[in-house]
Amino acid sequence: MKLTKDKNTVNIELGDITEFDGDAIVNPANTLLIMGGGVAGAIKRKGGEIIELEAKKHAPIPIGEAVITSAGKLKCRNIIHAPTVDYPGSRSSFEQVYKATRAALIKAKQNGLKSIAFPLMGAGVGGLKPVESISAMIKAIEEEGRELDLKIIIRDKDVYEEVIDFLKSTGWKVIQ
């Protein structure tokens, strides 16, 4: 579903982020760039260990920065690793998700990437509720997301509907 607000547009989709065919998917990483569980684990399982090996060459990176690697065997061309937590299994926060999303968007623009897919950053292993995650992400998207083809891909139907309802309640309009 495509939504717009204040010249920003985002597509919210139900699906598997590892199937995205575009410039990049965003990995809500930890600062050590260890790809164990959650979205990172799914990316590594499907795309191959080469992604983690490339990422770890940049580690550690602080929350608020991002690095790009190849996408291994995935359909997309790059992975943007943007830490939302300090260590594997640790908790995230609104501020950490905001900083990670903003860093990923800036890194995408710096590298000429246009079509970017995000999961709900910090909402899985990071422990944030979906509404907390999308609120932080939208703040960053409203600041840095213009002129990008942004998707947020959610795998759970109930969470997808919760996110759509929340965005509509905050002034985002559905467009065709």
Q: What is the pLDDT of residues 115-152, one digit of tens each?
A: 999 999 999 889 999 999 999 999 999 999 988 999 99
Q: What is the pLDDT of residue 125?
A: 86
Residue 127 maps to a domain = yes
63 domain-assigned: yes
> Containing domain of residue 135, as a range?
2-171
pLDDT tier at 54 (50, 70, 90 boundaries)? very high
Q: Provide the pLDDT for residue 124.
A: 86
Q: What is the mean pLDDT of the chain?
A: 96
Q: Is residue 53 part of a domain?
A: yes
Residue 23 lies inside a defined structural domain of this protein: yes
Task: Note the pLDDT of residue 69.
Answer: 98
Overall domain count for the chain: 1
Write down the pLDDT at residue 11. 97
Distant-in-sequence, close-in-space partners of 144: CB < 8 Å, separation ≥ 6: 102, 105, 106, 109
Q: Are strands 2-5 and 173-175 parallel, antiparallel or unpaired?
A: antiparallel
Q: Is residue 176 part of a domain?
A: no
Region 57-69: mean pLDDT is 98
pLDDT band (50, 70, 90) for residue 176: low
CATH of the domain at 106: 3.40.220.10
**How large is the average pLDDT for residues 5-13?**
93
pLDDT exceeds cutoff 90 at 13: yes
